[in-house]
Chains A and B, each alone.
Chain A
């Protein structure tokens, strides 16, 4: 075993009395920074917003021979002095103006495959008076292409330690952690800082002079020459940005992405549904009947199920997005969509979240983190729920079937119309919001097209895990709380059995006692009694009472009390609408009739039919445009760190939905329907 050096003993002494030193990873986008971070920290990392900001950063612990080192992966930036939010955030973070404590050392990432540009970036970053280490990343990739960097020669040129690394192979990663810890603990004296500055070009040099300096350093420290981008890259780029082939590729990739979150996710979602359903049944069987059992089964287990059920879609979307981003395609997709999206004030990167929103708005809103500009991102978050999600499907199916029974072509057109209405309303709302609330020049597309690389499944799995945990920790708790509150509002106060229920119970009991009783008839009567009890409970609960108060608001749309209650309960989740409507509907249709028949024969208190064509059409338009999803509002609150934006989103979407539904109803009534 090697004897401990005096320097090591000194480091241990300093380290044991201090918190783990903090290192900030600073580099340009697509330079292997996050891959290196994952290598350094492994599972000891998590994503969190930088304190006081809505910008996220990954923070983790790297283990060195002298102890742990806290590492913070700052957002990728093209230059520290740029007046863009990410650069400002990095400056503030390095200066200790945001975050709990300033980093002790900066690890400056230099991409070996684009070395001249990395040197120019490093020359600016090294001018900050703090300990710095330069990590040359993607060295394996560069070596394969015939280019290598001499670490000691580069350290001599830059006046700071240099480590050659590769996040993919793990080369130099432990050496980097050790070197960074040493640099953090040693700090930087004025003399050594001034000595470092002597190695660097003056901050006032022109771009041409800076490029010349970088080329001089490159000639001194590097051997070989990076070959130009391969012809394959040229050809693939040509195909992917071609007006026809590029569009076709875009449609194929996006269709796969959409189908995965729309179709593939349903299997684990059904599995989760089954698991929580079984758990609820078990608890129901074990616990004695009463409010505590209702809270456990319907409130807590139902609430957790309502939160966790979104996980498969979120995990799948981020897994696929990570693969696409890693492969270099996502930048090309954003490039292809940019021209169209710009017309509505949105960037090309907004296309993927808006498409994902057709499956579920929750993962879509989380994926807006791909959008670099904060205003663009906020505008995308605000309009994403307009896209028709899967939860709206049962409502569409029901209402379209009511409206166009026996006319499949018209029903199909109406179905497409619902999706188109949502998308058009979303894009027009984005246009409006970018010209009013989020006014200001849109950031023009200046998008780096990273080289095509084989995507890493390991990194994709990490991203998936990280996003899943983040969703559960950040949004899940709030969604669970909302689920419990909504359950409480619809379950309390408990309504005493009505005379009708008592009569039905007595009838059931009498029928069951008869020696020649038909078991099927008894069961049918039992079910009818339970349904009547549920109906009384829904209408007598807090939600039912709120529905009574809110009824005048919905009366112009043709909704009665029961329809208003169904609309209100579906704020928890849109899919609840159909089941609630079934429970509370008053119909004289025979029990064995279909759901559609029952609903079509639903009557108001005055005996007139409830679902006339104008009312059903108004309800369909309302559901297409309304913000009927509390979990989405909770997530928007988390993502924007403010109640202002979800409140605005709710008011705008509900207001627009109400207005459009009213216009449709009045038009149909005027047309004599």
Chain B
């Protein structure tokens, strides 16, 4: 019983608390893994893995490094909202965009 409690604390509660409290590299996840309604910040390095043309287009649409987004439709393809722009992203692009979920962002 005690060992199960310790295991739960070590494997589930502590990592999720750490993940929710900061934006360290440990909680970088692909955009496709966010849930609907969840907010996140785009990882500054992740856009560099995209093709130049796709990266430029995303930036022109307002999706750039360190900007905050909200997931309107989760999965692949997904729809995200940045400022007042909603953009549909195909799975091949969304899976390459890494984000850091924001503090205490509730998922729908």
Contact = CB atoms under 8 A, between A and B. Distances in A.
A447 B56 contact: no
A449 to B, nearest CB: 4
Contacts of A342: 90
A651 to B, nearest CB: 33
Contacts of B59: 79, 207
Interface residues of A, number: 38
Interface stretch (A116-124, A191-199, A458-466, A580-588): A116-124
A84 to B, nearest CB: 7
Nearest to B61: A78
Given A78-B57, A445-B90, A234 B84 contact: no
Interface stretch (B6-14, B16-24, B64-72): B64-72
Contact of A82 (B57, B72, B90): B57
Contact of B79 (A81, A207, A211, A449): A449
A335 interface: yes
A149 to B, nearest CB: 15
Given A83-B52, A117-B83, A207-B64, A335 B57 contact: no
Contact of A208 (B57, B61, B64): B64
B83 A84 contact: no
Interface in A285-312: none
Contacts of B58: 446
Contact of A79 (B51, B60, B67, B84): B60
B85 A84 contact: no
A446 B62 contact: no
A447 B57 contact: no
B28 interface: no
Contact of B65 (A208, A234, A441): A208
B77 interface: yes
Interface in B62-107: 62, 64-67, 72-73, 77, 79, 81, 83-93
B53 interface: yes
B54 interface: yes
A431 to B, nearest CB: 17
A114 B87 contact: no
B84 A208 contact: no
Given A229-B84, A237-B73, A79 B62 contact: no
A338 B65 CA distance: 26
12 contacts: A82-B60, A83-B56, A207-B65, A211-B64, A226-B84, A229-B81, A331-B88, A445-B77, A446-B54, A446-B61, A447-B87, A451-B84
Given A446-B88, A449-B79, 4 more contacts: A207-B59, A331-B88, A339-B77, A448-B61
